[in-house]
Amino acid sequence: MTEFFSPRPHRVFSKGFYKSADFDYEVRGLLGAASHGNTDAGEVLATIDGVSDGDHEHWFQAWHDTGSRVRALADEEVKAGDAVGASSAYLRAATYFGVAVNAVSGLESDDLLVPTFRLHRSSWEGFVDTVDRVVERVDIPYAQETLPGWFFRPSDDAGTRPTLVMVNGSDGAVSGLWNSGAAGALARGYNVLLFDGPGQQSMLFERGIGFRPDWEAVLTPVVDFLLHRDDVDTGRLALYGISQGGFWIARALAYEHRFAAAIADPGVVDVAASWNKNLPSSLVKLFHAGKKDAFDRDMALGMKFSPGTARTWKFRARPYARDSYFDTLTEVHRYTLTEDEATRITTPLLITDPEDEQFWPGQSEQLAAGVSGPTELSRFTAAEGANFHCQPMARQLTDARMFGWLDAVLPR
């Protein structure tokens, strides 16, 4: 056999698309999302073709422009009576506008945040109106509010089905949940419930409602809502949480025991760890010493010399709804699963554990070791094309493992 040797091997997968970790991770996720139609690879690569590392203005504009162009295609497909083409284009437009929403954090002003979010959400609603699934828009009772949601069924056949409840992360667009398990669940005969929780998307941007750590207060009303539906098999409720949603579902499962199985993608027990690692040790010491004035003073000084960091902090801190740097970080530290809470988790749990996890390394193993119920730790590797947070370029592989595990665990 002839051996082929390249003195300059192609290393884009390992070296990355950008030196900027944020840009690179976004591109990986967008390319991976093509597997379920959330993106088209050519659109992604064409969009980034002229965007330089760290050029936040161009990054935002490029995704906004691509979203606008694809949205126009979707509208044309509707006029032509092509629901399949319209559905595909609306989903892609929603995905691209979702990138633009988060890209606002790199701009001088956040004036474009809500208008861009509304373009994303109206594109998503266009997808909901044209997709070849049965979809019901729902309002889930929650405290004195309601949570906006979408209940998908694979068909309009009568009878009950297993149902997957999907919990988003800290800044994920609802369209991202389609690629992260919703499409795979529907293809396998599951109902799927998607919704905005407190601090997520419309609840934050349009209603001004921030995060809360005690997600049992969110998921218990969700379960109550589902138990009253005649198309839900109440003995086969499954729960999925992506990114920071891995913390929220773990916290909820310590108190809400009506789910038959759950998936944390990945396991998260200490949200603040991803914040602390980006702070100088001197600031960490001030924080743990409780020196609020000195911490806020030094943080403010540092932000003056790094406007980009200041904008990112503002965007990340917004859902925690606190006024000062110190108070924000104090609030983030409340998002911790205690040992006692971990032992309360008895629901069968699948926990993804990707190689090169960049936000909460080691926490999947920590969660698996702390819970009382049956647990499976599913490792994903670079050799499989499945490394980094939430396996952005291996969602088909993730689906296969998730639903293979659910088939074995859920009662028949």
Closest among 247, 38, 69, 260 to 163, alpha carbons compared: 260
Q: Where are the alpha helices (DSSP H) in 154-237?
A: 174-177, 183-187, 202-205, 216-227
- Whether residue 79 is found in the same domain as residue 117: yes
Assign residue 66 the CATH number of its domain: 1.20.1440.110
Determine, yes or no, domain membership for 1. Answer: no
Q: Which of 105, 243, 274, 378 is catalytic?
A: 243
Determine, yes or no, domain membership for 97. Answer: yes
- Whether residue 245 is found in the same domain as residue 385: yes
Helix axes 41-48, 21-32, angle to 10 degrees: 160
Residue that is last in its domain, among 123, 145, 176: 123
pLDDT value for 171 = 94
- Looking at residue 347, the DSSP 8-state letter turns out to be S
pLDDT of residue 70 exceeding 80 = yes
- Looking at residue 181, the DSSP 8-state letter turns out to be I
* 243 included as an active-site residue: yes
- Whether residue 57 is found in the same domain as residue 177: no
- Whether residue 165 is found in the same domain as residue 287: no
**CA dihedral angle for residue 400, residue 189, residue 406, residue 243, rounded to 10 degrees:** 70
- Whether residue 170 is found in the same domain as residue 230: yes
In the chain, the number of structural domains is 3
User: Tokens 């990986």, residue?
Assistant: 28
Q: Which helix (DSSP H) or strand (DSSP E) does residue 101 occupy? A: helix 83-103
Determine, yes or no, domain membership for 7. Answer: no
Closest among 11, 16, 29, 12 to 395, alpha carbons compared: 29
Q: What are phi and psi of 194, to 5 degrees?
A: -110, 145
Mean pLDDT (whole number) for 402-412: 94
pTM for the whole structure: 0.95
Domain that holds residue 145: 133-271+335-409
User: For the chain, what is the radius of gyration of the CA atoms?
Assistant: 21
Q: pLDDT tens digits for 269-307? A: 999 999 999 899 999 999 999 999 999 999 999 999 888
Q: pLDDT tens digits for 131-167? A: 999 999 999 999 999 999 999 999 999 899 999 999 9
